[in-house]
Amino acid sequence: MSGRRDVEIFAGNFTQQEPIPEEGIEAALRVLRHGRLHRYNEAAGEVAEAALLEEEFASMTGAKYALAVASGGYALGCALRALGMAHGERVLTNAFTLAPVPGAIAAAGGVPVFVDVTEDLVIDLDDLAAKAAGCRLLMLSHMRGHLVDMDRLMALCDRLGILVIEDCAHTMGATWRGVASGRHGVMACYSMQTYKHINSGEGGFLVSDDAAAMARAVLLSGSYMLYGKHRAAPPPEAFEAARMVTPNVSGRMDNLRAAILRPQLRALPERVARWGALYRALEAGLPAVPGITLIHRPAEEVFVGSSFQFRLADWSPARIGLYLSRCLARGVELKWFGAEKPAAFTSRYDHWEYAPKQSLPQTDRILAGLIDLRLPLTFTPEDCAQIARILKAEALTVGQAAEPEAVVAPVIQ
């Protein structure tokens, strides 16, 4: 699209998701008409939507057990409690992640220990090994869909005796060497928040092959001893040791959200393919642009391209702020993880004052120029090609300009 002087202006909406499928709307209306929203409220002969969703998600991932809960953040905290995290226990996690990850650790009584990020935006395995002493748990965030070498990570954690909880909020539908994301660690957590890969506004999953841990998770979620109604849970005997000593921290998913999600789950492979096409179209428009450093994607991963990152590695904060402002004026909404103050979803480890202060110069350097944008499925490959042209043109303009005065970057929700 063109504006005055033939300057392209992008007219798309970076926060507009696809509508809920008609099948999901019809299923939701059925739930609303009969009124049995609570997952344990069933008519004779009926199987709850939440129980069916869990069964289908377990089948899709290849996990023995699955539990649907109220949010991805709840899933993270539930996994920590299910694995017996003690009050004050130190828990390893990525320095580059979103606030709900260390937030879940702190809220459950743990202490986040941040591990450096690499140039490829994944956890630094050397720094992980250096900080592992005395730690039993790693909450591994596959932040923005970037998968670390999972074979190397699991070999390291197995050698160190560390249990891995995978945060798969950005990798539902992704794989590493053919293994579904979430199937390496002892437990995995997923999100169905609006900007994730299937959409119920809020929602989460836990999966595991560990019967004892999943039994505790089901009890924690508020089963009221009705765990026999679950179809993707451990057998009744797995609950015996924990059923009277596990607190209820209610966080169940309801049947209304489950009804909305079931048809979306079936559409996930097709969505992953479409996101891949969008990502590659944007990437193809940014080869060897001065100032822009693209993120390497290893051949071993099948990723979900619902967002795109690049680095303005050697630019000053003022130059980056000018770049963001100029791109926004042309309709392209960018987020910046190097901003001094947190804005929207871009807070970082040194903003989270509930965690002990750490010095992570490597992560600081990488995040200082890290730029992020959403790629909703309402975009087309042609849209992404246009976005790339705008990003390239403004990088050339701003990168060659004299050093600007301090510029406040625009706040993008």
Q: What is the mean pLDDT of residues 335-347?
A: 89
* pLDDT for residue 46: 96
The answer to whether 219 and 243 have CB atoms below 8 angstroms apart is yes
Whether residue 287 is found in the same domain as residue 387: yes
Whether residue 74 is found in the same domain as residue 178: yes
Residue 348, in any domain of the structure: yes
Strand ranges for 95-203 from DSSP E: 111-115, 137-141, 163-167, 175-176, 179-180, 187-191
H-helix segments, 249-360: 255-266, 268-284, 317-329
The rounded distance, in Å, linking the Cα atoms of 166 and 184 is 8
Whether residue 258 is found in the same domain as residue 275: no
The rounded distance, in Å, linking the Cα atoms of 217 and 212 is 9
Structure tokens at 398: 């701003």
Kindly report the pTM of this predicted structure.
Answer: 0.95
Q: Give the residue carrying structure tokens 């390291």.
A: 156
Residue 112, in any domain of the structure: yes
| Each residue's pLDDT tens digit, 95-120 | 999 999 999 999 999 999 999 999 99
Q: Is the pLDDT of residue 412 over 70?
A: no
Whether residue 233 is found in the same domain as residue 368: no
Residue 234, in any domain of the structure: yes
Residue 359, in any domain of the structure: yes
Please give the distance of CA 410 from its chain centroid, rounded to a whole number.
24
Choose the final residue of a domain: 241, 266, 291.
266
Q: Do strands 301-302 and 187-191 pair parallel, antiparallel, or not at all (unpaired)? A: unpaired
Domain boundaries, position 368: 4-12+268-400
CATH number for the domain spanning 34: value is 3.40.640.10
CATH number for the domain spanning 313: value is 3.90.1150.10
Choose the final residue of a domain: 207, 233, 266.
266
| Each residue's pLDDT tens digit, 151-184 | 999 999 999 999 999 999 999 999 999 999 999 9
Q: How confident is the model at residue 411 (pLDDT cuts 50, 70, 90)?
A: low
Whether residue 293 is found in the same domain as residue 252: no
Cα–Cα distances (Å) from 46 to 38, 151, 225, 260, in that order, read 13, 42, 19, 18
Whether residue 118 is found in the same domain as residue 229: yes
* pLDDT for residue 188: 98
Q: How confident is the model at residue 1 (pLDDT cuts 50, 70, 90)?
A: very low
Q: Is the pLDDT of residue 267 over 80?
A: yes
Choose the final residue of a domain: 224, 251, 266.
266
Total count of domains within the chain: 2
